[in-house]
Structure 1
């Protein structure tokens, strides 16, 4: 267990960075859209590059939010079906689920790196703004590596191992402590 604890801390830190990057991408998209709105309001004409530039952030938001949802156990799961199984079968199903997630993350990393390496196109946002497609392609292998890193949390990634009563009790205790402070 000596190696897993530092890796779990790194996973949590990387997850926090992914959250900040996602929020930054959303704020950038909103800022670009708001700039376009204000420009249209003030001048009556449109900026041709705003939509094209704003949509370049979508792959980052999509892929990084996928890794964030994995870390918090918010991915697609058949919890009701799994919880109706005997405990041994739940563990087998959980192991298979983690293996499939790991395989998916490996494929994202492997094929994503190949896609990134061969990306040579340039997005023509406007005459002056040209962004290499590598900017959007790199998020694919990055998200695969992050998912592989999150696998160090093991069964904690799967919501069928979460006891709702413990979670609710923990939330109530946290709220009570905050109100007393």
Structure 2
């Protein structure tokens, strides 16, 4: 399919953006926490808003890291059980797994969008810092869309089709080849 290759490249690009966003969220959280620590050292009192502000980044880290782990096949899988199946049943099981992942992603988009639209609360981080709940709610449908996009990778998302024996043999041959004069 000619459309599949550009979608796979888009999936990889979106995955890189998700990685950068997760790293940025972690760094922002660390920056906020370090600021609170330095303030406590300097003044002896605490900043009341640091914990509340830092925790607003947790949903972004959690949901986006879920999409990243899916892209690299690091999700929960029953690989040993599935690999013991005959090849035809292995393909059926992999197809069912991708179908369940797609259903989960669609539910994230569907219910997450409703949740986002209904998020009318405002987090009162401090008197001056007020953040809409929409900031954290939007990550739910975004992660669903990213998961749906990653599904264009097909069976590459699943580790069921990795041949461990040939991979180990290749590594042994490479290692043996490097040590020979």
What TM-score comes out, normalization by structure 2 length? 0.92
Q: Displacement of 1:167 after TM fit? A: 5.5
Q: 1:75 to 1:88 in 2, by over 3 A?
A: same
Q: 4+ runs of 1 displaced by more than 6 Å?
A: 168-172
Paired with 1:169 and 1:29, the residues of 2 have a C-alpha distance of 44
Q: 1:61 to 1:119 in 2, by over 3 A?
A: same
Q: 1:82 to 1:50 in 2, by over 3 A?
A: same
Q: 1:117 to 1:65 in 2, by over 3 A?
A: same
Paired with 2:86 and 2:4, the residues of 1 have a C-alpha distance of 28
Compute the RMSD of aligned alpha carbons: 2.0
Per the alignment, residue 176 of structure 1 pairs with: none
Paired with 2:77 and 2:84, the residues of 1 have a C-alpha distance of 13
Note if 1:89 corresponds to 2:66. no
Task: Report SS of the residue matched to 2:14.
Answer: helix
Q: 1:7 to 1:169 in 2, by over 3 A?
A: farther
Paired with 2:171 and 2:134, the residues of 1 have a C-alpha distance of 42
Q: 1:150 to 1:169 in 2, by over 3 A?
A: farther
What TM-score comes out, normalization by structure 1 length? 0.92
Is the radius of gyration larger for structure 1 or structure 2? 2
Q: Which runs of 5+ in 2 are unaligned?
A: 173-181
Question: More displaced, 43-52 or 159-168?
Answer: 159-168
Q: Which runs of 5+ in 1 are unaligned?
A: 173-181
Per the alignment, residue 150 of structure 2 pairs with: 150
Paired with 2:41 and 2:170, the residues of 1 have a C-alpha distance of 49
Q: 1:152 to 1:169 in 2, by over 3 A?
A: farther
Q: 1:170 to 1:113 in 2, by over 3 A?
A: farther
Note if 1:140 corresponds to 2:140. yes
Aligned length: 175
Q: Deviations over 1:116-170 (max 9, x none)?
A: 0111000000111000000000000000000000000000000111233565688
Paired with 2:149 and 2:170, the residues of 1 have a C-alpha distance of 26
